[in-house]
Amino acid sequence: MDPREFLKSYEQLRAQYERAGENPQGFKLKDCRNCGSCMFCTGCDNCYRCTHCTGCEGCSNSTHCESCSGCHSSAYCVESTNCVNCKYLEHCDACADCTYCFGCVGLSRKDFHILNEPYGRTEYFQIIEKLQRDLRRR
């Protein structure tokens, strides 16, 4: 087999896999594609061992996340990307081991931050409540 034959066969296998959209060992999935060992998810693509997620892509071992991409071992995150071991993030990117962050990028081991700035717990929730309401109206 020469390199050209190999690459052609490889691309055919990838295309066949994508078209099949199978969800091996999935349970009660709705409109998910190529998700493995996920449960109770809706509209997810290429996820692994996620539960109760909606509209996520390329996530693993996450639960109750919504519209996230590339997040791993995270919970209750919304519209976040490439975050690891995080909880209750919204509109965050590339955060690790963070909890209750909003609009943060590249943070590690931080809690109660908005746009990478720290806030007290009470103040954080007051600001977030208004921000979420205003963002929904947009």
Q: How much is the pLDDT for 14?
A: 87
Q: Is 6 helix (H, G, I), strand (E, B) or coil?
A: helix
Tens-digit pLDDT string for the chain (138 aa): 889 999 999 999 988 877 777 888 889 999 999 999 999 999 999 999 999 999 999 999 999 999 999 999 999 999 999 999 999 999 999 999 999 999 999 999 999 999 999 999 999 999 999 998 998 887
Query: What does pTM read for this prediction?
Result: 0.87
- Using CA of residue 64, residue 67, residue 68, residue 72, what is the dihedral sign? positive
Domain segments of the chain as ranges: 22-76, 83-138
Query: Using CA atoms, how far apart are residues 44 and 34, in angstroms rounded to an integer?
Result: 8
Give the pLDDT confidence score for residue 25 in this predicted structure: 87
**What order of strands is seen across the sheet that includes strand 117-118?**
87-90, 99-102, 111-114, 117-118
pLDDT of residue 12: 93
Q: Which residue has the tokens 């055919």?
A: 12
Q: Are 41 and 56 in contact, with CB atoms under 8 Å apart?
A: yes
